[in-house]
Amino acid sequence: MSTTTGTTGTTGPDIYATSGADAAASEGAHVFNSTGGDWDQLVDEAAALHEERIVVNMGPQHPSTHGVLRLILEIDGETVTETRAGIGYLHTGIEKNMEFRTWTQGVTFCTRMDYLAPLFNEAAYCLSVEKLLGITDQIPERASVIRVLMMELNRIGSHLVALATGGMEMGATTVMTVGFRERERVLAILEMVTGLRMNHAFIRPGGVAQDLPPGAIDKVRDTIPLLRKGLHELELLLVENPILKGRTVDVGYLDLSGCMALGITGPILRSTGLPHDLRKLDPYCGYETYDFDVITRTESDAYSRLRIRIDEMYESLKIAEQAIDRLQANPGPVMVADKKIAWPAQLAIGGDGMGNSLDHIREIMGTSMESLIHHFKLVTEGFRVPPGQAYAAVESPKGELGCHTVSDGGTRPYRVHFREPSFNNLQATAAMCEGSQIADVIVAVASIDPVMGGVDR
């Protein structure tokens, strides 16, 4: 039998170096063997304990999750003793599909992941592609400002859905109607600029697909005061509402150590008092030049996350105001100058939605055969990206959204993988719900604000 020498110089049996039976005999310990078995055996063993254990399936449905989630709850009366999240009902294979499309076509796929914050998916992906191309510093300033403006408006829209659906799940239908009314103002701007309310494919490697249309800046300027008024109305409905506070204060508690252990980011992490925001810590798109505050609270519960989202929307409006001032002062291009990468971005979007308008086709056909061939190859084959890998991350409404892109030197990605905050944050379900009431599960999940398109991808 192996022995070990302790710090006192005495020797004794090393239970880690012996067989289980020998170790148990030498130490008088219990040996627990973990083995598999079929479901009937497990049920029989559980029944032999003579304990009443009730397992309830909550879903698969929409419990405040903007997608199909299944929660498997083990309950004792009204108390939840165990919680597990069942995912995969919305799986679309987006990351794998991107390997079979050109680098620019990949935007059309990834924008559909977190479909409430599509512009953040596009931004993370394009920033990683631009790192691989080595053109990060060549992106026109106007393109970066447009990206910031669109992302901050999108952040407001995402937070409004989080508050509206969370309120609806608690029975506050007025919160839902006001929240979606204000979101419509945001979607009207996004549709005016990109042509679509959701899944825009607007941010492209090298810049954006299209410059702002005439009247867009005035539209944003006119909408911001209306959004402020609507947010204030939401505050009056929510912040000091005694029923809402009774449902959310000290519910879904998760402290800083829990967030660190599970890799949680976004409003959940900031509700523990840690001012973690990539716009400040690792700026991108020129965020270091904007004046805004990182909102934190210290209560670590569902109520504090609600308050953080409300305050963050006000900060986003501040950033949007700064962005439109810069856009009026800077009429520059919105796509990188390198014509081997740049897609048409100064002409009206044509029927194919890719910026290939009839005016542009007539222009290149009448200019030279070489430009026509180049345009044809750029659209059908795509540009080549040097071999390598890159990671870029943005601060999405849910937390850190990162994109790890790998190139083998071809016109299509070798591998694209996203670090999606909804996927990571959903891990907190068990920690937030176990030991609480069944009714509190919905509130806790709503405070996580997971979007299942991002979880399953």
Predicted confidence band of residue 16 (pLDDT cuts 50, 70, 90): very low
Please tell me whether residue 23 adopts helix, strand or coil conformation. Answer: helix
**Does residue 333 surpass a pLDDT of 50?**
yes
- What pLDDT sits at residue 28? 54
Predicted confidence band of residue 15 (pLDDT cuts 50, 70, 90): very low
Residues 49-60: tens digit of each pLDDT: 666 678 788 877
Predicted confidence band of residue 415 (pLDDT cuts 50, 70, 90): very high
CB burial readout 4-21, b (16+ within 10 A) else e? eeeeeeeeebebeebeee
171: left (phi over 0), alpha (psi -120 to 50) or beta: left
Which domains, from first to last, does the chain contain? 94-341+383-456 (1.10.645.10)
**132, 238, 389, 425, 452 from 165: Cα distances, Å:** 39, 13, 38, 18, 14
How much of the chain exceeds pLDDT 70, in percent?
82
Q: Taking residues 404-430, what's their average pLDDT?
A: 91
Q: Is 153 exposed, middle or buried (0-12, 13-18, 19+ CB in 10 A)?
A: buried
How much of the chain exceeds pLDDT 90, in percent?
28
| Angle at CA of residue 65, ends 60 and 70, nearest 5° | 25
- What pLDDT sits at residue 2? 41
Predicted confidence band of residue 43 (pLDDT cuts 50, 70, 90): low
**174, 187, 432 from 456: Cα distances, Å:** 31, 25, 21
Residue 446's Cβ-side half-sphere holds a number of Cα atoms within 13 Å equal to 27
Predicted confidence band of residue 21 (pLDDT cuts 50, 70, 90): very low
In the numeric block, which tokens belong to residue 431?
Answer: 């920690």
**Does residue 5 surpass a pLDDT of 50?**
no
User: Which secondary structure element, helix H or strand E, spans residue 171, and what is its range?
Assistant: none
Predicted confidence band of residue 145 (pLDDT cuts 50, 70, 90): very high
- What pLDDT sits at residue 54? 81
Q: Which of 203-207, 276-280, 309-313, 335-339 has the lowest mean pLDDT?
A: 335-339
CA distance 195 to 85: 36
The mean predicted confidence, pLDDT, of the chain is 82
- Whether cis (ω within 30° of 0) applies to the bond prior to 213 is no
Q: Which of 22-26, 77-81, 82-86, 351-355 has the lowest mean pLDDT?
A: 22-26
Is there a contact between 168 and 175 (Cβ–Cβ < 8 Å)? Answer: yes
Q: Which of 18-22, 98-102, 204-208 has the lowest mean pLDDT?
A: 18-22
- What pLDDT sits at residue 121? 92
CA distance 234 to 183: 12
- What pLDDT sits at residue 392? 92
Residues 263-286: tens digit of each pLDDT: 899 899 999 989 998 999 989 988
Is there a contact between 346 and 334 (Cβ–Cβ < 8 Å)? Answer: yes
Predicted confidence band of residue 152 (pLDDT cuts 50, 70, 90): very high
- What pLDDT sits at residue 181? 92
| Angle at CA of residue 134, ends 291 and 198, nearest 5° | 60
- What pLDDT sits at residue 313? 93
